[in-house]
């Protein structure tokens, strides 16, 4: 899919990754309403950086009974080695978080860790994000978090997590709707009416 009107977002993410190349961890928050293109942006960034960075991808799902720490298990499976076995063997959540941090620290810099749809995250995953986000300053890891900001209300637990992340090593990228011109380009390629879509 053609990526339109996202150059500023990509430049901001590239700048964040450059910091991680120098050994400074960073958290990038990618926000916007449902369907605005968060996943498309993340995929495009991951594809363009795949030759220079390790990409690990986890996601949260809108399940009635969320699987605790599902994104961490996604990431551990992709990282390989004994990562999954090590977190399974952890005797407590505190130990599990430390094991996850230690395994991520072993990965070559820069490493990009993506956790998608965090508005659906279980409490353990939110705790993990807070734990990692406050300890990445000396690791070459770019932690990218995406969520629907129109579903994160004032008392949503994610607000507390974001509030506790160090602002000096965090950036926020909020995706804006495409202009009529950009929608027109996509509509024409798909054989649809620009006006109706926009």
pLDDT in tens, 99-146: 999 999 999 889 999 999 999 999 999 999 999 999 998 889 999 999
pLDDT in tens, 133-166: 999 988 899 999 999 999 898 889 999 999 999 9
pTM over 0.85: yes
Give the helix/strand (H/E) hosting 29.
strand 26-31
Contact 60/116 with Cβ under 8 angstroms? Answer: yes
Residue 28 has pLDDT above 70, yes or no: yes
Give the helix/strand (H/E) hosting 34.
none
């Amino acid at each position: 899919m053609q990526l339109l009107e996202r150059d500023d977002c990509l430049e901001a993410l590239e700048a964040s990754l450059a910091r991680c190349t120098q050994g400074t961890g960073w958290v990038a928050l990618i926000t916007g309403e449902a369907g605005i293109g968060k996943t498309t942006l993340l995929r495009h960034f991951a594809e363009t950086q795949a030759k220079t960075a390790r990409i690990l991808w986890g996601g949260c799902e809108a399940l009635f009974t969320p699987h605790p720490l599902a994104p961490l298990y996604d990431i551990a499976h992709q990282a390989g080695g004994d990562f999954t076995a090590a977190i399974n063997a952890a005797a407590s959540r505190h130990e599990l978080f430390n094991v996850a941090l230690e395994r991520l620290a072993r990965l070559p810099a820069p490493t990009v860790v993506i956790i998608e749809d965090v508005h659906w995250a279980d409490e353990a995953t939110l705790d993990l994000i807070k734990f990692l986000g406050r300890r990445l300053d000396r690791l070459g890891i770019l932690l990218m978090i995406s969520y629907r900001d129109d579903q994160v209300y004032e008392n949503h637990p994610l607000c507390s997590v974001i509030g506790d992340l160090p602002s000096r090593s965090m950036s926020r990228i909020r995706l804006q709707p495409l202009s009529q011109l950009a929608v027109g380009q996509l509509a024409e390629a798909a054989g649809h009416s620009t006006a109706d879509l926009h």
